[in-house]
């Protein structure tokens, strides 16, 4: 159990602060920075809040919220002993209406059977005026954990979020088209490459990706990107 815990801690560290030779260095670093800027922008007032990490996994982003008076709750599929609650068989979250102030959903939406039901559940348990911090994939390789169903354009993601009833406050894209193409090229070669060469190859490719992403404006990346990050709010006049 100690060895397993150490393994998860190392994986979480690489997700938050990956080495430059990590094949996900750029995208993981940018995702962390977007989450950090969100917490600094919206949650520095010292107000006590509850956050529900939906599809929490090992809760790798929990340390970003530790500086704030936030009660952190994890929801996941049955079998994850780090979660506080589990999805029911009909994909419901076993929490009351208007339960939480913040929902965090990082790289989960692409894996769920029914994104509409998933977002409706997030909307239901969120208090009026509460925030949904959501990231998901645009251009990315197939990665079932345990399933992988969906990819999004910026417009398509915003539409399904708004159709649920949320007000979108911010949309950010990570890795525009050329950077995304390099990421996909790197990942298509990675597992076929001898492990001894991977750190050098990863370092080279991640440096190229970093440079290529500078070709795209933030506005352009809101339409085409490898990862989209959205900050949305449940309307304050919601009664459902």
DSSP per-residue string spanning 53-89: EET-TT-TTGGGGTTS-EEEEEEESTT-TT-SEE--T
Report yes or no on 219 lying in a domain: yes
Q: What's the domain range around 162?
A: 20-233
pLDDT in tens, 99-122: 999 999 999 999 999 999 999 999
Tell me whether residue 12 is in a domain.
no
| Number of domains within the chain | 1
Average pLDDT of the chain, as a whole number: 93
């090229």: which residue's tokens?
185
Task: Give the Cβ contact number of residue 109 at 10 Å.
Answer: 25
> Is residue 6 one of the residues assigned to a domain?
no
Is the pLDDT score of 236 beyond 50?
Answer: yes
In a domain, 160, yes or no: yes
Is residue 225 a part of any domain in this protein? Answer: yes
Reduced to 3 states, what is the DSSP secondary structure of residue 117? helix
Q: Residue 239 domain-assigned?
A: no
CB atoms within 10 A of CB 65: 20
For the domain that residue 199 is a member of, what is the CATH number? 3.40.50.150
Q: Could you give the angle at the alpha carbon of 36 between the alpha carbons of 35 and 40, nearest 5°?
A: 115
In the beta sheet, which residues pair with residue 104?
A: 53, 133
Confidence of residue 7 (pLDDT cuts 50, 70, 90): very low
Structure tokens at 34: 């977007």
pLDDT tens for each residue of 174-224: 999 999 999 999 999 999 999 999 999 999 999 999 999 999 999 999 999
Q: Does residue 5 fall inside a structural domain?
A: no
How far, in Å, are 23, 90, 225 from residue 204 at the CA level? Answer: 10, 45, 21
Residue 186 in domain: yes
């Amino acid at each position: 159990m100690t060895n397993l815990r150490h393994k998860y801690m190392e994986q979480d560290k690489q997700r938050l602060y990956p080495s430059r030779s990590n094949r996900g260095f750029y995208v993981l670093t940018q995702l962390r920075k977007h989450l950090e800027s969100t917490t600094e922008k919206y949650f520095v007032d010292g107000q006590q809040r509850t956050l529900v990490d939906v599809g929490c996994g090992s809760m790798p982003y929990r340390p970003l919220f530790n500086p704030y008076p936030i009660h952190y709750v994890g929801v996941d599929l049955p079998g994850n002993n780090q979660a506080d609650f589990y999805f029911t068989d009909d994909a419901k979250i076993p929490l009351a209406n208007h339960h939480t102030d913040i929902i965090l959903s990082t790289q989960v939406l692409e894996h769920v059977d029914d994104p509409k039901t998933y977002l409706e559940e997030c909307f239901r348990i969120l208090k009026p005026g509460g925030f949904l911090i959501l990231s998901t994939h645009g251009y990315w390789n197939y990665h079932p954990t345990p399933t992988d169903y969906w990819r999004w354009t910026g417009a398509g993601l915003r539409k399904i979020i708004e159709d649920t009833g949320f007000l979108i406050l911010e949309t950010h894209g990570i890795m525009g088209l050329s950077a995304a193409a390099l990421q996909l090229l790197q990942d298509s070669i990675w597992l076929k490459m001898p492990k001894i060469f991977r750190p050098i190859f990863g370092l080279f490719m991640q440096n190229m990706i970093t440079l290529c992403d500078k070709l795209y404006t933030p506005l352009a990346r809101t339409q085409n990107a490898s990862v989209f990050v959205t900050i949305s709010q449940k309307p304050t006049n919601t009664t459902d």
